[in-house]
Amino acid sequence: MEKNTLQETALALASADRGILAMDESIPTCNRRFRKLAIPETEEKRRQWRELIATTPDLAEHIAGAILFDETIRQHTGDGRRIVDVLTEAGIIPGIKVDLRAHDLALHPGEKITDGLDGLRDRLGEYRSMGARFTKWRAVITIGEGIPSSGCIESNAHALARFAALSQEAGMVPVVEPEMLLEGTHTMERCLEVGERVLRELYRQLAGQRVLLEGTVLKTSMVLPALDCPKQQTIAEEADATVRCLMRTVPAAVPVVAFLSGGQPPELAAARLSAINERWRATAPWALSFSFARAIQQPAMEAWKGEEENRDAAQHALMQAACDCFMARRGEYAG
- Smaller CB separation from ligand 13P, 168 or 221: 221
Q: Show contacts with ligand 13P in window 64-93 (CB under 6 A).
A: none
Of 219, 124, 204, give the one whose Cα is nearest residue 158.
204
Residues making up the chain, counted from first to last: 335
User: Does an H or E element contain 23, and which?
Assistant: strand 19-23
Q: Which of 22, 63, 246, 318 binds ligand 13P (CB under 6 A)?
A: 22
Residues paired with 23 in a beta bridge = 68
| Cα–Cα distance, 255 to 232 (Å, whole number) | 31
| 150 contacts 143 by C-beta, under 8 angstroms | no
Q: Closer to ligand 13P at the Cβ: 35 or 210?
A: 35
Question: Contact with ligand 13P (CB under 6 A): which of 295, 301, 317, 318?
Answer: 295
Verify binding: residue 322, ligand 13P, rule CB under 6 A.
no
**Alpha-carbon span 328 to 257, nearest angstrom:** 14
Interface with ligand 13P includes 260 (CB under 6 A)? Answer: yes
Element (H, E) at 174: strand 173-180
Binding residues with ligand 13P: total (CB under 6 A): 10
Closest CB to ligand 13P among 302 and 312?
Answer: 302
**What Cα–Cα distance (Å) separates residue 266 from each residue in 146, 280, 320, 333?**
31, 21, 11, 12
**8 A C-beta contact, residue 295 and residue 313:** no
Is 177 designated active site?
yes
Stretch of 69-77, 197-205, 273-281, 290-298 lying at the interface with ligand 13P (CB under 6 A): 290-298
- Tell the smallest beta-carbon distance from residue 299 to ligand 13P (Å): 13
Looking at beta carbons only, is 180 or 293 nearer to ligand 13P?
293
301 binds ligand 13P (CB under 6 A): no
Judged by beta carbon, residue 222 or residue 308, the one nearer ligand 13P is 222
Q: Based on the shown chain and the rule CB under 6 A, indicate whether residue 223 belongs to the binding site for ligand 13P.
A: no
CA separation for the pair 302, 314 (Å, rounded): 8
Give the shortest CB-215-to-ligand 13P separation in angstroms: 20
For the CA atoms of 34, 84, 170, 26, what is the dihedral angle to 10 degrees? 10
Should residue 303 be labelled a site residue for ligand 13P when binding is judged by CB under 6 A?
Answer: no
Minimum CB distance to ligand 13P smaller for 161 or for 260: 260
Chain CA centroid to CA 149, Å: 24
Q: Which stretch binds ligand 13P (CB under 6 A): 102-110, 241-249, 256-264, 271-279?
A: 256-264
Q: Under the criterion CB under 6 A, does residue 261 sit at the interface with ligand 13P?
A: yes
Query: How far is residue 276 from each of residues 222, 225, 260, 262, 329, measured CA to CA in Å?
Result: 10, 16, 14, 16, 9
Per CB under 6 A, which region of 76-84, 141-149, 226-234, 292-300 contacts ligand 13P? Answer: 292-300
**Vertex 231: Cα angle to 226 and 237 (nearest 5):** 85
Rule CB under 6 A: say whether 292 interacts with ligand 13P.
yes
- Residue 333 touches ligand 13P, criterion: CB under 6 A: no
Catalytic residues: 177, 219
Interacting residue ranges for ligand 13P, rule: CB under 6 A: 22, 138, 177, 260-262, 292-295
